[in-house]
Amino acid sequence: MDEQPRSSASPKREWALRYALAVAAVAVGSALRLEFTRWVGPGLPTYVTFYPAVMTAALLAGFWPGLLATALSGLTTAYWILAPAGLAIHSPVDRLGLAIFTGMGLFMSVVAELYRRDRDKAAAYDREAALREGQARLLSAVTVEKEKLACLISSIADEVWFADTSRKFTLANPSAVREFGLKSAEDFDVEKLAASLEVLRADGSPRPVEEAPPLRALAGEVIRGEEEIIRSPGTGQLQYRQVSASPVRDAEGRIIGSVSIARDVTDRRRAEDALRQSEERFRSLAEALPQIVWTADPEGGVEWFNRRWHEFTGEPEGAGKGWSWGNFMHKDDLARSLENWASARREGSLYENESRLRGRLGEYRWFLVRAWPLRGSDGCVIRWFGSCTDIQGMKAAEAALRESEQRLKFHFENSPLAVIEWNADFVVTQWSSEAERMFGWKKGETLGKRIDGLRMIYDEDIPIVSRTMERLASGKELAIVS
């Protein structure tokens, strides 16, 4: 409703402007004629300022405005300029001059119109040539882009399928054609191909033809990363595939087809299954061990504890991940453990530390904590495997041994008897202060020397001592009183 008045008013406005230009040109010519007359006097040529007016109107506005300018110039000249004043012209010379001017005005209007038409034709030709050149460039660009797209689709290792609204495949890349042993995908029926294949859902149940991703995409559905199992026509083996499909719409939003991309993920699924089985075996082994076993990520946060941790700490299964294990470590051991753990992670080296952990009843027990880094193919640590071994008994034995050694040292230094200790080679290793007093040798003079080399036995007792030493060296007797 709004467009029609504008389109009809535009030619009218153009027509009015063209004829207004003719009137304005004559008015300007008349004004100039009067001005020039004042300057040079009455001898000024009659039509000197009207020829440019007619030419301007004809060139800029066309044939009919040129004729209008000629007529208006003639009337103006006859009425105001030629004697006597008025439209009647009595002089034959003036009538001849007006006739010549009118003829020249007609001639200039015709020539100007012809020029305008030739100019418009040339401009139209130039526009058409520019349009053809632009179309050629556009066609060339489209061809190049089409070739690029074809090369891109052909180079994709995944299968790429395009189906139109008639449910026929109109494009398939080489991977798709090769996988299904097709000569060409053009005009190949989607339902026919889907019905000819053995396809299962991810849960192993048969997939109906109507659930084929290209058909669902034609109905407007978007499918992202849906898994399917298909028996390959080429090998007869079951393949795991990940399929994405989407409707293709035109500029107005109408569905004109669907594009589907299918990726073979069989190797990845097998690797995932192998990894899952490996982790299950590891966890089974870890649960059978008496130690606390755990795994951590490369940053050091614990990912998993075996059952021994939960039995010892009382934490429910599934808890204890991250860094919460620090809540169960003795406060005097935590800072040292964290520092050693950070150093091991930074260097990617074996972690070993002795720490006290709090049990479910609040008691602390000593554990030997170790962790080994697992590296990927690039040499970077991808996981840590750790264990916590209860060494409370060993710590108690060490404490008991230290206490025993302290008691022995006390008795050794304070015994009223001369206490001498030697090894299996009868080399003196200990010499008490009472032995110094009794035998006269200082401790530094006896250590490292054989007992039989010291002149501390009477000659008549040497055979007895030698036999005693032989009996002790045989190991059959641990103590001999002589």
Residue 481 clears pLDDT 90, i.e. is over it: no
The closest of 175, 130, 139 to 157, measured between CA atoms, is 175
The highest-confidence range among 15-29, 81-95, 148-162, by mean pLDDT, is 15-29
Residue 395 clears pLDDT 70, i.e. is over it: yes
Extended strands (E) in 376-470? 381-390, 420-422, 428-431
- Assign 2 a pLDDT band (cuts: 50, 70, 90): very low
Contacts of 382 (CB under 8 A, 6+ apart): 298, 374, 375, 376
Mean pLDDT of 93-107: 84
pLDDT score recorded for residue 356:
94
SS (H, E, C) 144-182: HHHHHHHHHHHHCCCEEEEEECCCEEEEECHHHHHHHCC
CATH of domain 289-396: 3.30.450.20
Q: In the Cβ-directed half-sphere of 286, how many Cα atoms lie within 13 Å?
A: 20
**Residue 311, amino acid:** E
The closest of 179, 177, 228 to 199, measured between CA atoms, is 228
Domains 156-264 and 415-474 share a fold: yes
d(CA 269, CA 260): 21
Residue of 323 and 183 predicted with greater confidence: 323
DSSP assignment, residue 362? S
Residue 137 clears pLDDT 80, i.e. is over it: yes
CATH of domain 156-264: 3.30.450.20
Residue of 271 and 327 predicted with greater confidence: 327
Residue 14 clears pLDDT 50, i.e. is over it: yes
d(CA 182, CA 174): 10
Mean pLDDT of 388-414: 78
Task: List beta partners, residue 244.
Answer: 261
Q: Are 267 and 260 in contact (CB under 8 A)?
A: no
Mean pLDDT of 345-369: 93
**Residue 431, amino acid:** W
Residue 6 clears pLDDT 50, i.e. is over it: no
Task: Please provide the average confidence, as pLDDT, over all residues in the chain.
Answer: 83
The closest of 460, 457, 458, 459 to 426, measured between CA atoms, is 457
Q: Token digits for 122?
A: 């040339």
**Residue 127, amino acid:** R
pLDDT score recorded for residue 313:
92
pLDDT digits (tens, 9 = 90+) for 194-243: 888 889 888 889 999 899 999 999 999 999 989 998 888 777 788 889 99
Domain segments of the chain as ranges:
12-127, 156-264, 289-396, 415-474
Contacts of 469 (CB under 8 A, 6+ apart): 426, 451, 452
DSSP assignment, residue 427? B
Q: Token digits for 276?
A: 């899952």
Q: Are 259 and 160 in contact (CB under 8 A)?
A: yes
Q: How is domain 415-474 classified at the CATH fold level?
A: Beta-Lactamase (3.30.450)
Place of tokens 């753990």: 341
pLDDT digits (tens, 9 = 90+) for 302-321: 998 998 999 999 998 877 78
d(CA 346, CA 340): 10
Region class of 315: left (phi > 0), else alpha (psi between -120 and 50), else beta: beta
Task: List beta partners, residue 364.
Answer: 358
Residue 433 clears pLDDT 80, i.e. is over it: no
pLDDT score recorded for residue 185:
54
Determine if the peptide bond prior to 84 is cis (ω within 30°). yes
- Assign 5 a pLDDT band (cuts: 50, 70, 90): very low
279-288 as b/e: b if 16+ CB within 10 A = eeeeeeebee
- Residue 312 neighbours by CB distance under 10 Å: 19
Cα 268 from chain centre: 20
- Assign 7 a pLDDT band (cuts: 50, 70, 90): very low
Q: Are 370 and 387 in contact (CB under 8 A)?
A: yes
d(CA 308, CA 328): 14
The closest of 286, 369, 305, 384 to 334, measured between CA atoms, is 369
> Which of helix, strand or coil describes residue 322?
strand
Residue 461 clears pLDDT 80, i.e. is over it: no
